[in-house]
Every structure is written in C-alpha cells, then in structure tokens.
Structure 1
Amino acid sequence: MNEYLVPLTSACTLVTLNYMAMKVRSKMLIDSYEHLLAPLLTGLASILMMLVPLPELFGLVDLRSVPIFMAGLRYGLPVALLSTVLPSGLTLFTQDSQAWFIIVQELIAPALISSIFHNKEYRSGFLDIPIRHGLQICSFVFLLRLLIHELLESNLSWLYALDQLFMLAIMSAAFIIIIVMVNDENKSWRLQRQLELQANQDSLTKLPNLRSFMPIASNALHKRRVSIMMIDLDNFKQYNDQFGHLEGDQLLREISSVLRNHIHEQDYLARYGGEEFILLSSEINPLRLSKYAERLCSIVADTFHQKNFTDFTPITISIGISTAEEPQVELRRIISEADHALYESKHHGKNRSTLYKHVQLTNEKKMNA
C-alpha cells in the first residue's frame, strides 16, 4: 500500500512547487523574460519530479510530464518544447536504455497534446483556463500510454489498466489544482488591474483622469518638447441649467468621444475636471498646432450642429495651447500657460484656439505701446 503514497507525495510536491513559482512571479517583474523563465522553471520542475521515481507497478517513470502539461496549455508549443530540453538531457544522461522512448512518451507527447488546447489569452491572464482542458489532456495522455503498452506488450492486463486509472486520477487532481491556483492568481491580478484602472479613469467619460495624466505628461516632458492643450466646453452652464445635469453628463460623454476619435494617434487625452479636458501632444510646430486645434473646434461644432442643438446656444469648445521651450520644463508651468491661453480664447468669442506665444507677444506690444 505504501507504493500508492509515492505518486501522492509527488503530486503534492508538484502543487507546492507551482505555488512557489507563482509567488515568485508575482513578486518579481519578470514579464519581459517570461518566454525564457517559463521553460526554465518548467524544466526544473520536471527534473524534480524525476528525482522521485514511481514504483514499477504503475508503468510510469515519474510525474515529469505534468509540468509540461501546463507549459503547453498556457504558453503553447514552442515554450512546451523548450521546457523538455533540460529533463530530456537528464534522461539521456541517466538512462542507459529506452531513453528516447521515455523522452517521446513522457515529454514530447505531453508537450504536443497540451499545446492543442493552448489559447494566447491563457498566457496573458485575461482568460481563465477551463478545467475540462486539464481533464482532456490527462485523458489523452492516459489513452496514449495504454495504446503504447498494448502495441509493445500485446497484453493489456486489467491490473495495469487499474494502476493507470489510479495514475490518471492522481495526475488529473494535481493538474486541476494547479489550474485552479493559476486561475485564482489571474483573477487577483485582473481585480488589481481593474482597481488601478478605476483609480486612473474618469468614471463619467471613461477617459484617463488628471491623476494618471500628470505622471505620463511629466515623463514625456523630461524626454522631449511637448505641447499642452487645455480644452473647455463652451456654454456648458447654460446647457446644464436648461436641460439638467443628466443631459449635461451625456453631453460630456459625447464630447469626450468626439475628441478621443479625432486627436492624433500618439496624443494623450484626459479629463481635467468639470467641463475641461487636457491633451498632451507631440506636435510642437505653432502653425500645425493651430490647424490641429482649429480642426478639433470645427469637428465639435459640426457634430453638435448636426444633432439639432441649433435652437440653443451653440455647443463648441475653446482651446488654449502652450509648448515647452525645452525638455524638462516644469509641467505645471506649461499647463498654467495653456490655461491662460484658454482664457484668451474664451474672452475673444469662444469656439477658437489661442497659442500662449501669441498672448505673450500681444502683452509685450501693449507694454511697449
């Protein structure tokens, strides 16, 4: 009876190793090296399983194939095959006979079978691994071993079949526990990601909020010159007073959608607060910036004119623009300059854009006059 405890012990060891590997992965920033570390850790887990051989009555060498199951299922065939390199090398070194047979049956075949069920979303963690895939993989490997035994021995005994069923139960249980652990870890990661997204996203417009905008803009400004556009929705208070706050919220959603769909692909739009938006742009040429901003003004004006708001004060936007003279200028200074330029756009009729440089030149002329 003690021989039946050996595979149970190996299965428990394997589950423990998987738990430790997940904790190491969560504590270390190894995502960029995962395509190398995954086959390395999987190969080492297989080798540890090889160090605990099973009794001969089970007709198996050990549980070296179970780590390969997860590599193929989660990462696909290339990683699964790479995961077989280390245990295959050790098998060739330690086995005098049937080394290649063991490699094909216990490593290569599990890698091929498990890879059939691979989905790229399993690797990213955005999709849970179905339990049925684990059962299917173990069942296919079980049937393959019975078939190979029948071809080689030409005598499939009931005792051997029962022992294989016992090993199928052990492998399936261990593999399912590992899948459940991986899925739970992914669920925790997705929840954390969702909470981070909610903390950095404006709940009304679904745009990034100012909290997430500031570090991104600061990092960009440390590397290169950038421009900041302050965008304000004109006549919003009157619209709220006439149609109510619910309609006002819907208008903000529509405005944010229009802006998001028409800004440059490399630019970054966020909600500043209230009816104001802020845009980080890589464009620094004054002429092109003016045309860019005027195009946004025209698109918004045309969009809401077509929505039959003509019986009300026109829904338009005003924009103020400031460009950093050099990298590593203080971000808040650029935002303040853009805000000042926005005030000038509002003061001179709305539905227009103003460059802070033009405001400076105008002020200088007034002072010299």
Structure 2
Amino acid sequence: MNEYLVPLTSACTLVTLNYIAMKVRSRMLFDSYEQFLAPLLTGLACIIMMLEPLPEALGLIDLRSLPIFMAGLRYGLPVALLSTVLPSGFSFISHEDHAWFIIAQDLLAPALISSLFHNKEYRSGFLDIPIRHALQICSYVFLLRLVIYGFLASKLTWLYAIDQLFMLAIMSAAFIVITVMVNDENKSWRLQRQLELQANQDSLTKLPNLRSFMPIAANALHKRRISIMMIDLDNFKQYNDQFGHLEGDQLLRDVSSVLRQHIDEQDYIARYGGEEFILLSTETNPQRLQAYGERLCFVVIEAFLHKRQHDLTSITVSIGISTAESPEADLKRVIFEADQALYESKHSGKNRSTLYTDMQTASAPIANHKKNA
C-alpha cells in the first residue's frame, strides 16, 4: 500500500516546485533566456520525479511525464523534446530497467501529445490554458500506456489497469492544480500590465500620455539627436462651443488616430494635453522635417474634408518643430523651442508647420536692425 504514496508525494513535490519556479520567474528577467531555461528546469523537475525508484518496471510509474506535459503545452514540440534530454540521460546513467521503453513512453510520447495542444498565446500569458487540455493530455497518455502494455503483454490485466487509473487520477489532479496556478499567475501579470498601460496611456485618445513620453524621449536623446514636434488642433475651442464637448472628444480621438497612422514607423507620438500632441522624431534634416510637418497637416485636413463640407468648419493642425543641437541637449529646452515654433505657426495663419531654426533666422535681421538703430 505504501507504494501508492509515492506518486502522491511526488505530485505534492512537483506542485511545490512549480510554485517556486513561478515566483522566481516573476521576480527575475528570464524572458530573454526562456528558450534555454525552460528545457533545463523542466528536465531537472523530471529528474526529481525519477529519484524515487519505480515500484514496478511496467506497472505503477512515477510522474516524470508531468513537467513534459506543461513544456509541450506552453512552449511547443521543440522545447518539449529538449526537455527530455536530461531525464533521458539520467535514466541511462542510473541504469534504469527498460530505459529505452520508458523514455519513449513517459518522455517522448508525452512531449508529442502535449505539443498537439500548444498555442503560442499560452507562452506569452495572454491566454489561459483550458483545464480540458490537462484532462485530455492525461487521458491520451493513459490510453497509450494501456495499448502498449496490452501489445507487449498480450493480455491486459485488471491490476495494471487499476494502477493506471490511479495514476491517471493523480496525474490529472496534479496537472490541473499546476495549470490553475499558471493561469492565476498569468492573470496577475495581465492585470499588472493593464494597470501599467492605464497609467501610461491617455484614456481619451488611447495614445501614450506625457508621463510615458518623457522618459522615452530622454532616453532617445541620450543616444542621438532627435526632433520634437508640437502639434495643436486649430480652432478647437470654437468647435467645442459649436458642437459640444462630446463631439470635441470624438474629434480628438479621430485626429489622434489619423496622426498615429501617418507618422513615420520609428517615431513616437503622445498626447501632450488638451488639444495638443507631441511627437518624437528621429529625423533631423530641416528640409525633410519641414516636408514631414506639412504632410501631417495635409493628411489631417484631407481626412476631415467631409466634416468641413457638412459642418462648414475647417479641421486643421498647426505644428512647431525643434531639433536638438546635440545628444547632450536639454529635452525640456527642445520642447520649449518646439512650442515657440508652434506659437509662430498659429500666428502665421495656422494649418502649417514652422521650424524653430527658421524663426531664429527670420528674427536675426530684425534684431540687428534694432541694434544698429
């Protein structure tokens, strides 16, 4: 009777190991090395399950298959097969009876069966693992063992069937517990990610907010020169007064969507506040920046021609652009200069972009004239 306590003890050990592994993973940066660490840790878990000698060579078995189940289900066949290397080697080193047979039945076959239920979203944590998959995998392995034993022994005994039913119950219960633990950990991760996203995302436009923009822009500026565009929606107050704040909110969402679709792929746009947006651009050439700003002005007015015809209201944006002189430049200073250029665009007729350097060039003759006078 004591032999039936072996898989119970192993199941509790495996659940504990899984809990420890999840907690360590959540506190350390394993993502970059997961392709290598997953097979290693899975293989070690299999070996721990093998340390208790098998009660019978082909009868009651240990739970070495369970870690392989989760590896195949979460990571797919390549990782599951790699996970069998360590326990297979340990099986030969320890001179286990019927080593090839047990490797094929309890390591390779589970790797293949579990990988049939693999979904890449299980690995990322964005999708919970269905409990039915755990039951299906365990059931298929159970049936496989019955078929193999019946083929080798020529006659299936009731004792073997009962032992396997017992193991099926233990495996299913342990695998369900592990699956629930993994799903709960993924739910906590998704909740944390959602809270972080909400903290760094503008709730109205779904663009990043200024809080998330500033460290990204500062980090980019430390590496290279960048340009900042301040983009302001023209006549927004009049639009709000004429059509109401709900329509104004919808207009902000629509404009943010248009801008997000038409900025350069490597650029980063955020909502600055009110009807203003801020854009981080890797472009520093003045001519190309000017053309970039004019293109954004054009796509906005083009996107809302129907509103202009229907509401008799022009929907345009004005843009101010400033480029950092060097990677050591002060980001707040660059933003201030872009804001000054935006102010110039507003006072020059709107629906246009202005470079801060052009403002300086234009103001220089005036300053020299006043000085000479």
Counterpart of 1:28 in structure 2 is 28
> Residue 225 of structure 2 corresponds to which residue in structure 1?
225
For 1:303, the equivalent position in structure 2 comes to 303
Query: What is the RMSD of the two structures over their aligned residues, measured on CA atoms?
Result: 1.3
The correspondence of residues 207-246 of structure 1 with structure 2, limited to 5 A, is 207-246=207-246
Q: Distance in 1 between matches of 2:277 and 2:309?
A: 22
Aligned to 1:163: 163
Within 2, Cα distance between the matches of 1:254 and 1:121? Answer: 31
Q: Deviations over 1:156-179 (max 9, x none)?
A: 111211111010000000001000
Q: 1:281-326 CA deviation, whole Å, 9 max, x = no partner? A: 1111100111110111111112222224565441110000000111
Q: Conserved in 2, the CA contact under 8 Å of 1:267 and 1:281?
A: yes
Aligned to 2:266: 266
Q: Matches of 1:196 and 1:80 in 2, distance apart?
A: 33
Q: Quick check: 2:80–2:111 contact (8 Å CA) kept in 1?
A: yes
Are residues 1:287 and 2:287 paired? Answer: yes
1:102 maps to which residue? 102
Check 1:151–1:311 CA distance in 2 against 1; reply closer, same or farther (3 A cut).
Answer: closer
- CA offsets per residue over residues 255-283 of structure 1, 9 Å max, x none? 10111111111111100000000000111
Partner in structure 2 of residue 59 of structure 1: 59
2:93 aligned with 1:93, yes or no? yes
Q: Is the 8 A contact 2:308 2:314 kept in 1?
A: no
* Residues 1:17 and 2:3 aligned together: no
What is the CA distance between 1:82 and its match in structure 2?
A: 0.6
CA distance in 2, matches of 1:165, 1:61: 11
CA distance in 2, matches of 1:33, 1:151: 42
Q: In the alignment, residue 335 of structure 1 is paired with which amino acid?
A: I
Moved more, 146-155 or 304-313: 304-313
Deviation of 1:97 after TM superposition, in Å, equals 4.0
Cα distance change of structure 1 residues 60 and 108 upon mapping to structure 2, 3 Å threshold: farther
Q: For 1:92, what is the secondary structure of its paired residue?
A: helix
Q: Distance in 1 between matches of 2:144 and 2:192?
A: 41
Tell me the residue number matched to 1:354: 354
Amino acid at match of 2:368: N
For 1:103 and 1:228, how far apart are their aligned partners in 2? 61
In 2, the alpha carbon distance for the partners of 1:45 and 1:303 equals 58
Secondary structure (helix, strand or coil) at the match of 2:304 reads helix
* Superposition pairs of residues 325-344 of structure 1, within 5 angstroms: 325-344=325-344
Cα distance in 2 between the residues matched to 1:235 and 1:66: 64
Give the CA deviation at 1:58: 7.6
- State the percentage of identical aligned residues: 78
Question: In the TM superposition, what is the alpha-carbon distance from 1:351 to its structure 2 partner?
Answer: 0.6
CA deviations over 1:128-184 (Å, ceiling 9, x no partner): 111111111101110111111111111211121111101000000000100000000
- Shift, 1:361, TM fit: 1.2
Quick one: distance in 2 between partners of 1:58 and 1:316?
78
Asked if the contact 2:75/2:120 (under 8 Å) is kept, the reply is yes
Whether contact under 8 Å (1:58, 1:163) holds in the other structure is no
CA contact (8 A) 1:309 1:315 kept: no
In 2, distance between residues paired with 1:57 and 1:358?
85
Query: Does the 8 Å contact 2:57/2:97 carry over to 1?
Result: no
The answer as to 2:1 corresponding to 1:8 is no
| Deviation >6 Å, runs of 4+ | none
3-state DSSP of counterpart to 1:203:
coil
Q: Could you give the per-residue CA deviations for residues 180-215 of structure 1, whole angstroms, max 9, x where no partner exists? A: 000000000000000000110000000000001001
Q: How many residues align?
A: 369
Secondary structure at the residue paired with 1:229?
strand
Q: Distance in 1 between matches of 2:265 and 2:199?
A: 24
* Amino acid of the structure 2 residue aligned with 1:123: R
1:83 aligns to what?
A: 83
Distance 1:230 1:96 in 2: 71
User: Is the 8 Å Cα contact of residues 74 and 122 (structure 1) preserved in structure 2?
Assistant: yes
In structure 2, stretches of 5+ residues that fail to align are none
**Aligned partners of 1:7 and 1:54 also within 8 Å:** no
1:219-238 per-position Cα deviation (integer Å, ceiling 9, x unaligned): 11111111100000000011
Q: For residues 284 and 31 of structure 1, do their structure 2 counterparts lie closer, same or farther at Cα, with a shift above 3 Å needed?
A: same
- List aligned pairs for 1:92-171, cutoff 5 A: 92-95=92-95, 97-171=97-171
Quote the Cα distance in structure 2 between the aligned partners of 1:251 and 1:137: 52
- Looking at structure 1, the residues matched to 79 and 166 of structure 2 have their Cα atoms a distance apart, in angstroms, of 29
Q: What is the deviation of 1:57?
A: 8.7
Instruction: Please give the alpha-carbon distance, in whole angstroms, between the structure 1 residues aligned to 2:140 and 2:343.
Output: 71
Asked whether the equivalents of residues 318 and 353 of structure 1 are also in contact (C-alpha less than 8 Å), the reply is yes
Amino acid at match of 1:274: G
- Name the CA distance, whole Å, in 1 between partners of 2:319 and 2:135: 60
**CA separation in 2, counterparts of 1:113 and 1:294?**
58
Taking the aligned partners of 1:39 and 1:302, their CA distance within structure 2 comes to: 54
Distance 2:96 2:275 in 1: 77
Deviation per CA, 1:104-123, whole angstroms, max 9, x where unpaired? 11111111111111111100
Q: Check 1:159–1:327 CA distance in 2 against 1; reply closer, same or farther (3 A cut).
A: same
Tell me the alpha carbon deviations over residues 58-106 of structure 1, each in whole angstroms, 9 at most, x when there is no partner.
8144111110000001000110011011100010111254211111111
Gaps in structure 1 of 5+ consecutive residues: none
Aligned equivalents of 1:74, 1:212: Cα separation in 2: 32
